[in-house]
Structure 1
Amino acid sequence: MYSELNEFKKYPISEDVDKWVESIWKMANSIKCDVEILSDNGFSFSFGIRHVKNEFTYVKFKPEGMDEFYGYWQPAMSGPAPLLIHTPGYSAEISTHPELVSQGYNVLHISPLGYATPNGPDESKQRDHTWPVLADTITSHAEKGYKLWLVNCILAIKWAMEQSEVIENRVSFFGTSQGGGCSLLLGSIFKNKGVRCVAADVPFLTNLPMAKCVGAITYNYEPLCSIDNIDGGWQALGFVDTISHVNRLNCPVLLTAGGKDNICPAEAVKSFSQLYSGTCSYNYFDNLEHRCSREFATLLQSWVRMYA
């Protein structure tokens, strides 16, 4: 079904996707990025929460020629240990993962493009009350938006890989919604560069033509209406659609989908699992809406234990 949709026929061919990934690496490797470890660990007395001083901490990344952005570094209690990278949903939330740290993993949450800060969201970067990363991807024909988002991730991951607590060339990716979709993209980008596994929870950016066809909430596609070249807009989406990266991935992939998810429909997520030739676990939950769930948290811990 998905291959017959007109939008899908406008997607880039695999060779162009490869070149796009290479251009992301070229950009990331050309940027000098200073790093500052912040003293504030991010927990507030107003919530009655505090953590052991200097264990978990914000990290400010200052890439030359780009906006500053932040990460939240959660090192393993003893190392060296594997590295897990968490990326945020479209709301740009920052999250912590002490349960994974206690099981022996280093965890870096990355908040690309400076959307979220230790003091909350930077609303000056919003456009029409939402984050513009998807719109910028479309209007720039995939030269900005998620391309810069992923460059930020590479810069942060390179820093994390240099930390003494981290086992060399052993990195895995996980996230929910946008974070799930971008975890799959990072798995593709880090092919043959140490990636161990991916865990993508109700992943956005997965078979977008099918998602639109089966009734996904269409605000995600409104930027297409604001540009002159509709074909070019769908081609831009093709670079960040995880379906375009299915043949690049070569690591175990965990997927979740919800029967009541009207943003990232289960049919679209399932289509990825049907196309992927590697180790893949597709998990469907009939009553799950579009959100991070206990089911995913449980599956994630087992998945990284097996493969990370």
Structure 2
Amino acid sequence: MDRNYEEFKNYPKPEEVDKWVESIWKMANSIICNVEVLSDNGFSFSLGIRHVKNEFSYVKFMPEGMDEFYGYWQPVMSGPAPLLVHTPGYSAEISTHPELVSLGYNVLHISPLGYATPNGPDETKKRDNTWPVLADTISSHGEKGYKQWLVNCILAIKWAVEQTEVIENRISFFGTSQGGGCSMLLGSIFKDKGVRCVAADEPFLTNLPMIKSLGSITYNYEPLSSVDNIEGGWRALGFVDTISHVKRLNCPVLLTAGGNDILFPAEAIKTFSELLPGTFSYNYFDHLEHRCSREFITLLSSWVRMYA
């Protein structure tokens, strides 16, 4: 991989990334989080999956000192079984995955920071017509934004592993776009803490300097213009760039990239795959645009059956 992009000079060193991950765990372990399993599962009389009506449910997480946020709990009918954690794209959707539950996995979708709710997106949390998680990461030098996003994930996962249906030390992560990038961050964070595998579909937060050089998603770099120290802003991005976590990923990693993906070009994802130290699968689909695809879901099903 070409590390000659000027922005890489501002990225944190590996030991600083390790300390940042430790600080995330310290924050998560210091927070008391009350949890309420809601009776509503989102299915209606006109559209729904009847055989899981009483099992699937929204979960409301209420961490002290932080905004409440939601998850969607999809347990197996007969456990205990491994846990698959799905994280959302930047559009902040909530997803259900009955196809994975039918394969014998518990699935927890997490929607951090309260951006998405059972009643739809919470538009009051937007700034400048977008979700501010990336901007907050930059302006706080990595102490807010995605750090809080990841803390929310840990709190939700801690609840999930306490459920009787879940095998404690068999946790895997998957997602598309932001969800793909953050799945790899969670794979790093849960290193030696039960992570089994990661599946990242067209992942955001991967080789950000290269993506910028290719002219992609330029609006994501606008927050850099509002900070006094642009080098400090790139340092903050370095903490959440999956490139900084690649050596911490000691589990099998599935990657997909699309030839028609103009948001997160395949070139950047391929450079990441070339750095992975262990088992990985890089899958390029010439026709794919930036979206969750049938191809990814098919690969994901096989990946978790091999490694989760």
Counterparts of residues 66-215 of structure 1 (less than 5 Å)? 66-215=66-215
- What is the one-letter code of the residue matched to 1:291? R
* Partner-residue secondary structure (3-state), 2:212: helix
* Partner-residue secondary structure (3-state), 2:284: strand
- What is the one-letter code of the residue matched to 1:49? G
Q: Residue 53 of structure 1: CA displacement?
A: 3.1
* Kept after mapping to 1: 8 A contact 2:260/2:287: yes
| Counterpart for residue 47 of structure 2 | 48
| Counterpart for residue 273 of structure 1 | 273
Per-residue CA deviations over 1:128-182 (Å, capped at 9, x if unaligned) read 1110000000000000000000000000000000000001211000000000000
- What is the one-letter code of the residue matched to 1:58? Y
| Counterpart for residue 12 of structure 1 | 12
- What is the one-letter code of the residue matched to 1:289? E
- What is the one-letter code of the residue matched to 2:290? H
| Counterpart for residue 60 of structure 1 | 60
* Kept after mapping to 1: 8 A contact 2:43/2:49: yes
| Counterpart for residue 21 of structure 2 | 21
* Partner-residue secondary structure (3-state), 2:199: strand
Moved segments of 4+, more than 4 Å: none
* Partner-residue secondary structure (3-state), 1:215: coil
Q: Residue 264 of structure 1: CA displacement?
A: 1.0
Q: Provide the C-alpha distance between the structure 2 equivalents of 1:122 and 1:37, rounded to a whole number of angstroms.
A: 20
* Partner-residue secondary structure (3-state), 2:274: helix
Q: Provide the C-alpha distance between the structure 2 equivalents of 1:67 and 1:273, rounded to a whole number of angstroms.
A: 35
* Partner-residue secondary structure (3-state), 1:275: coil
Q: Provide the C-alpha distance between the structure 1 equivalents of 2:125 and 2:211, rounded to a whole number of angstroms.
A: 27
Q: Residue 50 of structure 1: CA displacement?
A: 5.0
Q: Provide the C-alpha distance between the structure 1 equivalents of 2:193 and 2:83, rounded to a whole number of angstroms.
A: 13
- What is the one-letter code of the residue matched to 2:100? L
Unmatched 5+ stretches in structure 1: none
Q: Residue 44 of structure 1: CA displacement?
A: 2.9
Per-residue CA deviations over 1:78-102 (Å, capped at 9, x if unaligned) read 1000000000000000000000000
| Counterpart for residue 251 of structure 1 | 251
- What is the one-letter code of the residue matched to 1:75? P
Q: Provide the C-alpha distance between the structure 2 equivalents of 1:49 and 1:106, rounded to a whole number of angstroms.
A: 19
* Kept after mapping to 2: 8 A contact 1:41/1:57: yes
- What is the one-letter code of the residue matched to 1:230? I
- What is the one-letter code of the residue matched to 1:20? W
| Counterpart for residue 295 of structure 2 | 295
- What is the one-letter code of the residue matched to 2:83? L
Q: Provide the C-alpha distance between the structure 2 equivalents of 1:85 and 1:137, rounded to a whole number of angstroms.
A: 23
What RMSD over aligned residues (CA atoms) do the two structures have, in Å? 0.9
Per-residue CA deviations over 1:16-40 (Å, capped at 9, x if unaligned) read 0000000000000000001001000
Q: Provide the C-alpha distance between the structure 2 equivalents of 1:250 and 1:50, rounded to a whole number of angstroms.
A: 37
| Counterpart for residue 32 of structure 1 | 32
| Counterpart for residue 235 of structure 1 | 235
Q: Provide the C-alpha distance between the structure 1 equivalents of 2:268 and 2:214, rounded to a whole number of angstroms.
A: 9
Q: Provide the C-alpha distance between the structure 1 equivalents of 2:49 and 2:196, rounded to a whole number of angstroms.
A: 32
Q: Provide the C-alpha distance between the structure 2 equivalents of 1:115 and 1:279, rounded to a whole number of angstroms.
A: 34
Q: Provide the C-alpha distance between the structure 2 equivalents of 1:228 and 1:135, rounded to a whole number of angstroms.
A: 14
* Kept after mapping to 2: 8 A contact 1:181/1:242: yes
Residues paired across the two proteins, number: 307
- What is the one-letter code of the residue matched to 1:274? E
Per-residue CA deviations over 1:177-224 (Å, capped at 9, x if unaligned) read 000000000000000000000000000000000111122121111111
- What is the one-letter code of the residue matched to 1:48? L
**Percent sequence identity over matched residues?**
82
Q: Residue 104 of structure 1: CA displacement?
A: 0.1
Q: Residue 255 of structure 1: CA displacement?
A: 0.2
Q: Provide the C-alpha distance between the structure 2 equivalents of 1:284 and 1:307, rounded to a whole number of angstroms.
A: 21
* Kept after mapping to 2: 8 A contact 1:44/1:50: no
* Kept after mapping to 1: 8 A contact 2:43/2:53: no
Given the two structures, how large is their TM-score scaled by the length of structure 2? 0.98
Q: Provide the C-alpha distance between the structure 2 equivalents of 1:105 and 1:207, rounded to a whole number of angstroms.
A: 31
Given the two structures, how large is their TM-score scaled by the length of structure 1? 0.98
